[in-house]
A and B are shown apart, each in its own frame.
Chain A
């Protein structure tokens, strides 16, 4: 209900401080008209329904409205921005992409990077097939060169054989150089292509990614042919498998790229061919490994002969019966233990048989081919008139070259 003392709120602005003159005037009028009992000439003040004021609200602010609209627009744009960039730059919306196909620059980049990897692998595939073929050629002509060099260096080869070997070396050298340079050219470019998406690398280096891709391609090609027994298929399968062994062979690439072929002399070229053969895999390189383990028994026997002549200068003149000296009766060469046993005898007109044997032991130990030459027991028989004969039983080790 309205309060009796409540006033119209629009009067609130009027001064409330009582004016003394107006107050007196009102008092006079009231007192003149009310001699006895007080008579009211105005009705009671109307009650104001203040509840109506509750309906009065401040006028809508255009600024606020504008801000609300702006915020709404900005919010919607923000949502669109988040959705757009998330779909383009992340995989958060991949589940939607499975239903509705829509473009994504990240996915496009991954796809184009994959295409680059595949294409570069194809390119590497043909390059390494060619490199393998040139290395085969290198090993093929290198085989003749190696054999010829060994004949030329052998102490026991005949002069005619050495001359042929020298000629073969000169003839094969240009072919070896040509094959080598062609193989080298294939290995110069890097295996990897520049790709921008680290997701493709998956924690490994880019080089390793391309190495594995190429190896897989060769192995897949070989597997495809594994069930085919046709000679051509078997040949191709072997070719793919052996090509895979070149891929990622850092030592081979470094050796090939660092080599100055034209500056090599015969010995350096001989060693270089053997080195390359040890780093690649083909039938010839497998054979080379076997050849490298072989012992040159002819050189071993020749060395024993030369060392014996150094002690007994008539050894190779077959005058043992007449003037004595050293004579061997048996050799026992064991390649697996690298041990050599020699038996024989020495004959001297004097008594110094043991010294002759001791000199022979020292001489053998001076050789680069032998070591640990020894004879533990010395014995001789005979007389000053007929001369003395001593038994010879030497054991020595064959040194690794």
Chain B
């Protein structure tokens, strides 16, 4: 008799428990599923947007590459022109023989009977290697008129210009002596310490 009642009560309890658990599971899983579904839907939308973007990017890349390839000929031509000019201005090696020739040509162009410019000595020193460029130090002893001395300074100061093709150089020190005037033109004897640059 009691078992029956107990079972009856138990059944009622079970109904309540199942009902409670079912509701709990439905609510929690409903929340879980809803929130994840929202995220899932958002990702799906992003995928669609990405697909469209990828398609547009692909077209852009093709166009950009075609554009670059079309202009590459001009770019390469300019690079080759710069390279050719740099061979004498900023060469790959110290190229001291070419530099010596350049000094000789400059001397020949400048020197006249009335306005002297004589390079009596060129002394190349130990090469100094750097990260981006290297240096060939050199010392020159020159006897020159005042006007030609100024021209020599301009020659060095403007060296390295692509338009002139003169080896890139600079002067680190000058020691000069003024001599007695000859035919009213002052003669300057100077020793100049210079750097010639190369790659």
| Chain A residues within 8 Å of B, Cβ to Cβ | 9, 50, 53-54, 56-58, 61, 63-64, 67-68, 70-71, 74-75, 77-78, 81-82, 85, 88-89, 105-106, 108-109, 112-113, 115-116, 119-120, 122-123, 126-127, 129-130, 133, 136-137, 140, 143-144, 147, 150-151, 154, 156-157, 168, 193-194, 196, 235, 239, 283-284, 286-287, 289-291, 293-298, 301, 318, 327-336
Contact = CB atoms under 8 A, between A and B. Distances in A.
Contact of B75 (A57, A133, A193): A133
A301 B153 contact: yes
B29 A74 contact: yes
B132 to A, nearest CB: 5
Interface string B88-132: 011000000000000000000000000000000000000000001
B133 A112 contact: no
Given A126-B68, A136-B78, A144-B161, A74 B26 contact: yes
B142 to A, nearest CB: 13
A294 B64 contact: no
Given A58-B11, A140-B162, A287-B89, A109 B50 contact: yes
Contacts of A287: 89-90, 160, 168, 197
Given A81-B33, A119-B54, A133-B78, A74 B22 contact: yes
Contact of A61 (B15, B67, B163, B181): B15
Contact of A295 (B53, B57, B171): B171
B162 A290 contact: no
A115 B54 CA distance: 7
11 contacts: A54-B3, A61-B15, A63-B15, A64-B18, A74-B26, A105-B44, A126-B64, A133-B71, A133-B78, A168-B163, A287-B197
B53 A116 contact: yes
Given A85-B40, A297-B153, A112 B67 contact: no
A71 B174 CA distance: 101
A290 B131 CA distance: 13
A329 B75 CA distance: 54
Contacts of B75: 130, 133, 136
B95 to A, nearest CB: 15
Interface of B: 1, 3-4, 7-8, 11, 14-15, 18-19, 21-22, 25-26, 29, 32-33, 36-37, 39-40, 43-44, 46-47, 50-51, 53-54, 57-58, 60-61, 64-65, 67-68, 71, 75-76, 78-83, 86, 89-90, 132-133, 150, 153-154, 156-158, 160-164, 168, 170-178, 181, 184, 186, 197, 199
Given A112-B54, A297-B174, A318-B186, A57 B36 contact: no
B4 A53 contact: yes
A70 B20 CA distance: 12
Contacts of B60: 119, 123
A318 B181 contact: yes
Contact of B173 (A168, A196, A327, A334): A334
B162 A75 contact: no
Nearest to B191: A332
Contact of B170 (A67, A109, A286, A293): A293
Contacts of A239: 79
Nearest to B65: A126
Contacts of A129: 68
Contact of B158 (A85, A133, A151, A334): A151
A57 B7 contact: yes
A376 to B, nearest CB: 21
B44 A297 contact: no
Contact of A88 (B40, B58, B162, B170): B40
A268 B119 CA distance: 39
Nearest to B14: A64
Contact of A330 (B18, B26, B89, B178): B178
A241 B147 CA distance: 45
Of the listed residues A77, A106, A291, A329, the one surrounded by the most CB atoms of chain B closer than 10 A to its CB is A291
Contacts of B184: 318
B36 A89 contact: yes
A67 B19 contact: yes
Given A53-B1, A61-B15, A105-B47, A330 B29 contact: no
Given A61-B11, A85-B36, A294 B61 contact: no
5 residue pairs, one from A and one from B, having the closest CB atoms: A67-B18, A133-B75, A85-B36, A112-B50, A298-B153
Contacts of A89: 36, 39-40, 43
A50 B178 CA distance: 146
A143 B160 CA distance: 9
